[in-house]
Amino acid sequence: MEAQFELIAIAAVLLVVAVSVLAPKVGVAAPLVLVVLGLGVASLPIVDSITIPPDLILGGILPPLLYSAAVNTPSMEFRRDFRLISLFSVVLVAVSAVVIGLLACALVPGLPLGIGIALGAIISPTDAVATAVIRQAGVSQRIVTVIEGESMLNDATALVLLRSAVAAIGVTVSLWQVTLDFLWAVAGAAAIGYVVGRLNLAVRARVTPVTSSVTISLVVPFLAYLPAEQLGASGLVAAVTAGLVTGYGSPRKLGAEERITERAVWRTIELLLESAVFLMVGLEAPALAEDLVEQGGGLGIALMVAVGATTVAIILRSAFVAASVWWLARRNQRTPAVRQHLTELQERLADGEVPQLGNSDRPGRKERRTRRLAQRAGASAVSDEARIGIWQRMVDQRLADLDYLAAEAFGWREGLVLVWAGMRGAVTVAAAQTLPSGTEHRSLLVLAAALVAVGTLLVQGGTLGWLAGRLGLTGHSTDSDPVQWAALQQELNRAALDRLSGELDGYPAELVDRARERLHRLTQSEEDFRPDSPANKELMGRYRTLRLTLIAAQRDELMAIRDLGTYPSGMLDAALAQLDADQIGIELRQA
């Protein structure tokens, strides 16, 4: 039996690799191919019925997948669209669960309302794994961030509603109790995830071997998930929060080689886990159909429920997206007035005027943040110069937000993609299987959920790339803009030059001048040092140390620019990767 399991595992890995390589060449998303292959394999006469334990997906696969997605989520874009993401992940899920529940009760005679709402909670959330299809469609980063952020956070809403709906069968559960459960599920999980994320960075910053540090990252999702679940909070939200904290702080806390190695390891893990989930969805569907037939149910009613629930979910999503696009357009209409106000505030700051607490300027509400930042810097009191600098930073950030929202504005075309990208996946299938074994119409509900997941993946996922292309929303990335790239490099070089102008104890003037020339010309290389003598070898070693110091200054400046959001996140990632590569090259020569 063990040998058979090993052969199946080897075959699955080879199949995943083959599909991931060949599917893009024929213009088909790899997850969709894996779902179809899973259906085909499970339908073979020689293959027994396959049942996937729901805990394997909810507690074993989703935490690391959501953690990895959160680590790589651009924090800048996530912050800018957090209100929109919250609307989709909380309000839309709750409304969809109730409406789909009412529809299910109308389609299935005798179905209790609590079970109907449970089905709605199962079907309502979009799936984080399904965002693999969205990325491959080549749409804008803002659409990807909204969909991915929604799918990372809506599981808490859905699972709390599911738990409350199941508990309400035969008893009465108040809306107030459901609300308190949800607030604790999110707030408690966020607190646990934040602590785990900070501890992860603090511990790994002190672990020297790169392999040991990366190994620690493999258990972080579960360190966040398990205590949150034990305390009745959402383990998935805790894993997401830990990932967001880690992704935001790793460039400052972790070394270049460590982050590059970790990225490669987690990409491999993502490929295997995502592919395994899609295979599981396909493998399990025939077994669910057989179970329904054995219990005297009909496939027709399951298909009718699935089609009706999917239609209602799309209609509700369309309404929410349309309202959101209208609201965003109204907000963008106020951009000129807000920009003028911020420009005037910039001019006052340039003249040395310090805004006072309680005035009409919006940043005035952040005066306490100014004091905290000054205290972190070691200042006993906030000087006018420090206060002006922090105000200037907040104004620059707000202006960058306005530029981004104007450049990446959502219109009807983006709205269509947002609607069509709301696919369901493994979370829907796994959540359906958590229904108690004695639940009335359980096989019908589980099969209907599986049909919704498979159907949306195949129909919406299979046509999403075509739709985005027809709407002209693919291939318009701003991450490779040569003008912005040159401006970003100039800012990073300016930061290194400023560091050279400061105090650099222990470095001879010759090395400082040589580094300054290299930054000015961008063509200077280390080969200019000919290690003909021990003295030159020592000088070259110290020059490399100086280079590392300057790279650290550039990385600090890059993190500050990232917080402002004045450049695309993809371009900032490329610049960080370039600095990391330079640092690793120098460190390898020093070894």
> H helices of 334-365, where?
335-350
Of residues 206, 188, 207, the one with CA closest to residue 196? 188
Residues in the chain, total: 591
* pLDDT score for 281: 73
Residues with Cβ < 8 Å from 317, sequence gap 6 or more?
92, 96, 418, 419, 422
Dihedral of alpha carbons 363, 365, 371, 373, sign: negative
d(CA 274, CA 268): 10
Determine contact, residues 501/558, Cβ cutoff 8 Å. Answer: no
Among 355, 380, 407, residue at a domain's last position:
407
Q: Let me know whether 392 and 528 are in one domain.
A: no
Count of structural domains, the chain: 3
Determine contact, residues 62/224, Cβ cutoff 8 Å. Answer: no
pLDDT (tens digit per residue) in 336-393? 888 888 888 877 777 777 776 544 444 444 445 555 544 444 444 456 677 777 788 8
| pLDDT more than 90, % of the chain | 13
Determine contact, residues 74/144, Cβ cutoff 8 Å. Answer: no
* 263, burial (CB in 10 Å: exposed 0-12, middle 13-18, buried 19+): middle
Backbone angles phi and psi of 295, in degrees to 5:
-90, 10
pLDDT (tens digit per residue) in 36-48? 888 787 777 776 6
For residues 260-279, give the mean pLDDT: 84
C-alpha distances in Å from residue 514, one per residue of 83, 398, 411, 538? 49, 38, 51, 15
Q: Let me know whether 378 and 432 are in one domain.
A: no
Q: Let me know whether 114 and 36 are in one domain.
A: yes
> H helices of 124-209, where?
131-136, 141-167, 175-204
* pLDDT score for 363: 46
Instruction: Evaluate whether residue 268 is within a structural domain.
Output: yes
* pLDDT score for 7: 75
d(CA 210, CA 260): 10
Among 407, 435, 462, residue at a domain's last position:
407
d(CA 86, CA 149): 9
Determine contact, residues 355/348, Cβ cutoff 8 Å. Answer: yes
State CA 282 to chain mean position distance.
25
Secondary structure of residue 566 in the 3-state scheme: coil
d(CA 353, CA 391): 11
Please state which of the ranges 97-106, 357-366, 558-567 shows the lowest mean pLDDT.
Answer: 357-366
* Reported confidence tier of residue 588, pLDDT bands at 50, 70, 90: low
Determine contact, residues 474/147, Cβ cutoff 8 Å. Answer: no
Of residues 570, 584, 575, 577, the one with CA closest to residue 557? 575
Instruction: Evaluate whether residue 475 is within a structural domain.
Output: no
Instruction: Evaluate whether residue 30 is within a structural domain.
Output: yes
Please give the residue that has the higher pLDDT: either 136 or 123: 123
- Tally of CB atoms within 10 A around 72: 15
- What single letter denotes the amino acid at residue 389? G
Among 363, 390, 407, residue at a domain's last position:
407
Instruction: Evaluate whether residue 265 is within a structural domain.
Output: yes
Determine contact, residues 65/236, Cβ cutoff 8 Å. Answer: no
* pLDDT score for 378: 45
pLDDT (tens digit per residue) in 201-242? 999 988 888 889 999 999 999 999 999 999 988 888 899 899
Q: Let me know whether 217 and 358 are in one domain.
A: no
Q: Let me know whether 160 and 63 are in one domain.
A: yes
Q: Let me know whether 267 and 390 are in one domain.
A: no
* pLDDT score for 144: 84
d(CA 351, CA 42): 72
d(CA 103, CA 582): 59
Instruction: Evaluate whether residue 348 is within a structural domain.
Output: yes
Let me know the angle formed at the C-alpha of 199 by 196 and 201, rounded to the nearest 5 degrees: 110
372's tokens: 């905290």
CATH number at residue 40: 1.20.1530.20
Determine contact, residues 62/427, Cβ cutoff 8 Å. Answer: yes
Residue identified by tokens 């959920």 is: 449
Instruction: Evaluate whether residue 477 is within a structural domain.
Output: no
Q: Let me know whether 243 and 283 are in one domain.
A: yes
Mean pLDDT of the chain: 79
Q: Let me know whether 150 and 19 are in one domain.
A: yes
pLDDT (tens digit per residue) in 414-450? 899 899 988 887 778 778 877 777 777 777 888 888 8
Instruction: Evaluate whether residue 79 is within a structural domain.
Output: yes
d(CA 322, CA 66): 28
* Reported confidence tier of residue 130, pLDDT bands at 50, 70, 90: low
* Whole-prediction pTM: 0.74
d(CA 410, CA 324): 9
Q: Let me know whether 257 and 304 are in one domain.
A: yes
Q: Let me know whether 345 and 428 are in one domain.
A: no
d(CA 410, CA 88): 15
Q: Let me know whether 496 and 513 are in one domain.
A: yes
For 288, the domain range is 2-329+410-470
Of residues 143, 115, 126, the one with CA closest to residue 92? 126
Q: Let me know whether 259 and 324 are in one domain.
A: yes
pLDDT (tens digit per residue) in 572-586? 888 888 888 888 877
User: Could you say which DSSP state residue 410 is in?
Assistant: -
- The answer on pLDDT for 306 being more than 80 is yes
